[in-house]
Structure formats: structure tokens, C-alpha cells
Structure 1
Amino acid sequence: MGERRAGLSAWHWLGYSTACNAAIGLFFYWLGGKGSLADNLLISMCIGYGCWLGCTLLSLRDGRRHLAWYLLVAALSVPLGFKLAAWFGAVDVLAPQAPLTGNVWRVLGPALLVAIFAMLLSTSHFRSRELAMELETTRRREAESRQAETAAQLALLQAQIEPHFLFNTLANVQSLIALDPPRAERMLGYLNTYLRASLARTRHGAGTLAQELELVGALLDIAGMRMGARLQVAVTAAPELMDWPLPPLLLQPLVENALRHGIEPSIDGGRLEVAAERDGERLRLRVSDTGVGLDPAASGGVGLANVRGRLASLYGGAARLALRDNPPHGVVAELLLPAANGAG
């Protein structure tokens, strides 16, 4: 890729130099330069290509762009260019018999000034192009780095969310093995269903609302085994929303949070409702419970912090998570997500 870009740059340099040479030749002919239009164009081309070749060789050697190097290139290219043009048939203004021999600097001086000015202008133009390309490359690398960092962050957030539920469930299974083996077996079955669906979901960056509700259903089945009549559950979602694209582990932590901090601490338990509805071009997910309610001293826990982190990584500022009281007691957690991947 670098060689191809360098080749294209060299051809661009050559084309640019040709256009500048032609313009300078026409300019000197218009000012009354010696010889015909063809002579002025040929002289300009020979000097210009000499300058282009000299700058190219210097750039390939060490890339130095000091003014002294331009002066040296111009000092060599201008007289050599005049002689080369004469060899090709142009008027030789530097020849001993030429009428301008006695005041040769009247020819060399303006040619040197124009050559130096053209080289500086051309180099500035191409340097600005190089800087623009370098900036584009840097931005692309930074974007790729941010994307990789975001993917790593999402993987870390998922890893933080999953163990809490898994360890709690295994602890319950362990306690039930001796007391109620059939119930422990049923809970293991629910856990197997949950893990199978969860692993399939987290291996992909996106899924659907139906898949997330399947996970939530398995989670609530396990919670129902632990809490019995203390937990009442309701899940509602319109059939047309089931294919709505939804990243994993956004809804599940809200359900876990409602169970852990809302209903489980309540002596009487409570009701947990999960609802999905369309709000214009957005998806509104609501998890409400009738548990102990919001604790003003609590920070929201790791689960909610992870959900907010995932929302920021996935949607920027286009999604939000809101918590509010659920009178007479309890909490409502609400996710508002934009349409994605053709949702709707």
C-alpha cells in the first residue's frame, strides 16, 4: 500500500511539474523571452524537470527540505536546463556567441528566482497533501483503537454481570440437593436452559428482543423456584417487537436488580413486571417491581453501572436508563433505545 501510494505521489508530482513548467514557459514568452514559444516551453520543461528530479532524489535520500537544498538544486538545474534545452534544439542563451553573454545574469537571475519559488510552492502543496494523508491515517487508527477498546470494555462488562447470578443460583442448588432433590433438579434444568441461551447470546454483538426475553424468562423461573409464592411475574411484549435488534445483557441486569434489591429484601415479596413497547422510532423497556423501593443512600450497584456503561459504548447519547419510584412502593427501571439494524 505504501509503495502504491508513493508511486501515485511520484506520478502526481510529474504531472504537477509539467503543468507548472508549461505555465512558466508561457509566462516568459509573454514577457518577451528570447526565442520562439517552443524554445521557451522547452527551456522551462528542462529546468523544471531538473528541479523535480533533484527534489525527488533528495526526498528519497533523507527527506530533508531545508532552503539550502532548494538553492543548490536550483543553482544546478537552471544552467543545466538551459544547456539541455539547447541540445534539444532550443536557442542557447548561454552560448559564447549569444547576444546576452555579456550580461548572463539577466537570464539566470530571473530563472533562478522563478525555479526556487516554484519548488517551494510545489513542495508546500505536496507537504500539505502528505500531512492530510497522515492525519487521515492517524484518525483511522484511532477509530480502530477505540473500536477495539469498546469491544474489550463490552466483554469486561458482560463478564462482570454474569457471575453474580450464576454463583447465587449454584449456591441455591447446593442447599437444595440435601433438602429437596427434585426441586434442585428442576432448578438445575432452568439453569441449563438459561446458560445455553446466554452463551449463544453473548457470543454475538446483537440479538433480538425475543432472545433477551427468553433469557429473562429462564432467570425468573429460577427466581420463582427460590422465592415461591413471594414472587409474582408478568412479561408483556407485542409480537411485532420480537425481532427488534437488542444487544445482550441490557434487560437482564435490570431484572436481576429488581429481584435482588427490590423483592428479595421485602418480607412479603412482590410483583415484577417486564414490558416492551414501541415509542415512535424507539424501543421502551420497562422493569417494575413492588419491592422495598429506592434506597437514597445506594449508588445503584454494579449491575446498573454496567448497563449505563454499555449504553454509552453502544449508543452514545442516543439511549438512556431512568429509575423512578413505583408508588406505593417499589421501583421502575426504564430503558429507551433507538432503532438499530433495520428495526421497526
Structure 2
Amino acid sequence: MDPKIEARLKPGTDYHPLQVIPFFRRWRPSVLRNLLFTAILCAIVIAVIVLFSLGMGHRITWKMLAEVATFSLLIGYTQHYLYKITITLARRRQRLAPLLMHPMMLGVALPIAAIYVGYVLAVSLLTGTLWLNVSENWRGFVFASCVTIAIGWLLWEAIEATRKNEVERRERAELQANVDRAERERTTAELKALRAQVEPHFLYNTLSNVVSLIEREPATAKYMTERLIGYLRHTLDASRRENATVGDELAIIADYLEILRLRMGERLWYEVAADDATRALPLSPMLLQPLVENAIKHGLEPKIEGGRITVSAVVQDGRLNIVVEDTGLGFGVATDTAGSGSGLANVRGRLKAIYGDAARLSIEQPEAGTRIRLSLPIAASAAV
């Protein structure tokens, strides 16, 4: 079967001529909806006939209204059920579907048949005549048939255009959904790769420090081991959850910086600040750690006297604002700058994938060091 015909015959895809008007597309296809739509369409036809008669100077009587309503409703519902029977038959007899669903059948044969049968039923109901002799009023019948064919053909083209637009819209939506899913999978893979790159290196250096401190400073070695355990516990918990919170990420940062402070001694001072309400907000995992690592690696470690790093998170004007500020060498001073590595690039890529254009990341250069501002919409953060 032709895929286009097969798509038209799928259950739940019955179209009605009124669907050419966007207002009527909000209701899903159903038997009751189609019956109601046909009644509305018949009422529109009745109104048009009455207005045309008034324009021609004819007097409108209740008898005339009753006759017009009878003819319109019977012809309209005859066509309604002829289409329904044709579509049902095409679904059950797929071999006949190409013939039954042909535009000439739907746009010419069925409208003419509906006019004849509906006209016969209306005359029979109003006059008691059981049969309509077309030869008695063949000009009127031909005229009505031509008008109906023209209207039916226009409606057919409009419905097909509407159907095509809806199919294209669904295909675009599915394609975009696939792209978004692939982007999320890519960012997840990048997150795992980032963790795989960072954690072994960090673990190696930290464990080396622990081993070197065991004999000469056992208390410090124990404390560093405890902070390492806390760091690993927090990162493991975060890796098992699809979503994290600001508090989760700040806890990881605090453990990370405390371990580095033990390793760097007085060369490193740090502060992590956020209130309880801000800590409870959702935040995508591993957005902050690359920023802090950049500040340490490219700002504070190359500086002989070290410095200070501050990580703060606040809510302002309905947005989550996070600032990572250090007093290191400054952005672009060291040969391997923070902006040239993969850390910021990964963060920017993940921000784009998660928040679109709603997230902002800016790099500022105060008198000493570097300040990185991250601004996220709270509503979007809640959907992470």
C-alpha cells in the first residue's frame, strides 16, 4: 500500500474539513468530535444560504428555514457517513484502498453521491416522495453537483495541505527530540570521560601525599584520607543520580579544595559560600569542578606565593548566579591558560545543551586573578 494512503488510514487520524481552520485542530479526532464538526459545518452552510437569500431580496420564513436545514443536514450527514464507510472499508479491504482513497473518489464521486442520496432523503421527508427523478430538475442537480465538487476539491486540497504540514511538524519534532537526546547522551558521555580523566590524576596525587605523610605527620595523613573519602563518596553519589543540587556540587568542591589546601599548605586559602535555600536548588553535575580546577591549575598553582579562591552561589532576579574567583596569575598570563584548555569548552558545551541560550558564562579580570560568573535560570535548573 502507498505509505501516504497507509498514513491516512491509521486509527485516530480521521480528518474533518473544519480542521483547515487552526481553531478546530485543538481537539483530537473522535466519533463525537466529527459528528459535532459536521453539525457546525451544516450550520455554516445554512447561514450562507440564508444570507444569500436575503441578499437576493427573498423573504425568510420558518418554513424556508426548516427546508434549508433539512436539506443541509441530510446532505451533510450523508456525506459524513459515506466518507466514514469508505474509510472503514479501505481499512478492512486494503486491496481496495488505492481506489477508495483516490482523490477522484473522495473529491468527486462521494460528493455527487452524497448530494443525490441526501436530496432524495430530504424530499422524501418533506413531501413523502420516495424517489427523485433527476430528469425533472437535472440542471439544478448538475449545478449543485458542480458546486459541491468544487468545494469538496478545495477542502480536499486544504485537508491534504494541513495533513502534510502536521506530518512535517511531527517529523521535525521527532528529529529535534532525537537531536536533543543525542546531545544529552553526548554530554553525559563527556561528563563520564571528564570524570575518568580527573579522578585518577587527582587520586594519584592525593594518595602520594598521604603516603608521604603517614610516618612524619600521621594526623594530617588521616585527615587527608578522611577528606578524600568524603570527596569520593560525594562524587559517587552524584554520579548515580541524574540530577544534583548546588549543595551536592559545593560539598564536592569543599572536599576537593580542602585536600588541595593540605597539599599546598599556606599557599592556598579558600571559601565556599551559599545559603541553605540556594544549596537546595537543582544543578547539573560537574559544572563547577572544571571551573575550580582551572582556577587552581592555571591561576594559583603557577603563582609562587599562591592565593585565595572563593566559590559563591546566590539567587538574584530569579536566576542562580555562581562566581568562582581567584587571586592567581590572571586569565591568559600563564602559557597554558584556563580559556585554552578543554575545561571551559566542556562547560560551555554542556551549558548550551542543557539550558540553550538561557545560560551565561563570563570571564572577568579584576586587579588580581580571574573571576568567572555563571548565571543560570532557576526554572530551567529545576528541569535538569
The aligned counterpart of 2:236 is 199
Instruction: After TM superposition, give the deviation of residue 219 of structure 1 in Å.
Output: 0.4
Distance 1:39 1:238 in 2: 76
The aligned counterpart of 2:365 is 325
Instruction: After TM superposition, give the deviation of residue 18 of structure 1 in Å.
Output: 3.8
Name the SS for the 2:303 alignment partner: coil
Correspondences of 1:161-310 after superposition (within 5 Å): 161-176=194-209, 179-181=212-214, 182=218, 186-204=223-241, 206-237=243-274, 241-277=278-314, 279-295=316-332, 298=337, 299-310=339-350
Which piece of structure 1 moves more, 51-60 or 307-316? 51-60
- CA deviation map 1:87-135 (0-9, x unaligned): 4453759766xxx94x632222222123223423544565566456546
In structure 2, the CA distance between the partners of 1:210 and 1:83, relative to structure 1 (3 Å rule), is: closer
Distance 2:162 2:32 in 1: 12
Give the letter aligned to residue 48 of structure 1: G
User: 2:145 is matched with which residue: 112, 127, 140?
Assistant: 112
Name the SS for the 2:328 alignment partner: coil
In structure 2, the CA distance between the partners of 1:280 and 1:82, relative to structure 1 (3 Å rule), is: closer
Instruction: After TM superposition, give the deviation of residue 207 of structure 1 in Å.
Output: 4.3
**Contact 1:51–1:73, Cα closer than 8 Å, also in 2:** yes
2:353 is the counterpart of 1:313: yes
Which piece of structure 1 moves more, 223-232 or 79-88? 79-88
Give the letter aligned to residue 171 of structure 1: Y
Instruction: After TM superposition, give the deviation of residue 17 of structure 1 in Å.
Output: 5.1
| CA RMSD, Structure 1 to Structure 2 (Å) | 4.0
Instruction: After TM superposition, give the deviation of residue 165 of structure 1 in Å.
Output: 2.8
Give the letter aligned to residue 31 of structure 2: G
- CA deviation map 1:207-248 (0-9, x unaligned): 443332211110012212332333222334456644454433
In structure 2, the CA distance between the partners of 1:292 and 1:286, relative to structure 1 (3 Å rule), is: same
User: 1:158 is matched with which residue: 172, 178, 191?
Assistant: 191
In structure 2, the CA distance between the partners of 1:94 and 1:133, relative to structure 1 (3 Å rule), is: same
The aligned counterpart of 1:336 is 375
Distance 2:197 2:70 in 1: 81
TM-score where L is the length of structure 2: 0.69
- CA deviation map 1:36-74 (0-9, x unaligned): 645554444444333333333444524735246422224
In structure 2, the CA distance between the partners of 1:68 and 1:28, relative to structure 1 (3 Å rule), is: farther
User: 1:15 is matched with which residue: 39, 42, 45?
Assistant: 39
**Contact 2:348–2:361, Cα closer than 8 Å, also in 1:** yes
Instruction: After TM superposition, give the deviation of residue 188 of structure 1 in Å.
Output: 3.5
Name the SS for the 1:48 alignment partner: helix
Distance 2:123 2:267 in 1: 104
Q: How many residues align?
A: 335
Instruction: After TM superposition, give the deviation of residue 341 of structure 1 in Å.
Output: 7.5
In structure 2, the CA distance between the partners of 1:318 and 1:107, relative to structure 1 (3 Å rule), is: closer
In structure 2, the CA distance between the partners of 1:39 and 1:331, relative to structure 1 (3 Å rule), is: closer
- CA deviation map 1:171-196 (0-9, x unaligned): 12453465333465544432221122
**Contact 2:124–2:131, Cα closer than 8 Å, also in 1:** no
Distance 1:218 1:257 in 2: 16
Give the letter aligned to residue 340 of structure 2: G
Give the letter aligned to residue 185 of structure 2: A
- CA deviation map 1:255-296 (0-9, x unaligned): 111112222233433332323455544443222223333336
Name the SS for the 1:291 alignment partner: coil
Which piece of structure 1 moves more, 76-85 or 307-316? 76-85
Which piece of structure 1 moves more, 200-209 or 330-339? 200-209
User: 1:51 is matched with which residue: 76, 79, 90?
Assistant: 79
Distance 2:233 2:174 in 1: 37
Give the letter aligned to residue 313 of structure 1: A
Instruction: After TM superposition, give the deviation of residue 253 of structure 1 in Å.
Output: 1.6
Give the letter aligned to residue 5 of structure 1: P
Distance 2:68 2:319 in 1: 70
In structure 2, the CA distance between the partners of 1:125 and 1:22, relative to structure 1 (3 Å rule), is: farther
- CA deviation map 1:310-337 (0-9, x unaligned): 2223333333222233434x32222233
Identity of aligned residues (%): 28
TM-score where L is the length of structure 1: 0.76
Distance 2:297 2:147 in 1: 81
Instruction: After TM superposition, give the deviation of residue 308 of structure 1 in Å.
Output: 1.3
In structure 2, the CA distance between the partners of 1:77 and 1:334, relative to structure 1 (3 Å rule), is: closer
